[in-house]
Each structure stands twice: as C-alpha cells, then as structure tokens.
Amino acid sequence: MERVWWLMRKKVTHNRWVKTMEERVDEFERWGKTISPIQIKTVCNLNVNIY
C-alpha cells in the first residue's frame, strides 16, 4: 500500500498547487479512475520483492 501511496503522490500531488481541497480530491478521483489494476499490482509486487 505504501508504494501505491508513493505513486499517487508522485502523479497527483508532487510539485502541484491547487486552490481548494475540492480540486485536490477531484485530482485523486481522476487518478484513481485512470490507473489500472495491473499497475497497482505491479507497484505492490515491487514492495513484496524488495524483502
């Protein structure tokens, strides 16, 4: 889960300014609709394979 959080921060929040919290929530929702389950699985597998 931490890797998914890391990816979301990188793609949605990193070095991006928004005027309101609602805009930020909208960005999170858009990102959540665009990322595929395969991408999430790949990121999570990276976390498992490290240890």
pTM for the structure as a whole? 0.60
**What DSSP line would sit under 6-44, residue for residue?**
HHHIIIIITT---SSHHHHHHHHHHHHHHS-HHHHHHHH
Q: What is the pLDDT of residues 1-51, one digit of tens each?
A: 677 877 888 888 887 888 899 998 898 899 889 988 888 888 877 655 555
Contacts of 13 (CB under 8 A, 6+ apart): 24, 27
State the pLDDT at residue 1: 67
Domain boundaries, the chain: 2-50
Contacts of 42 (CB under 8 A, 6+ apart): none
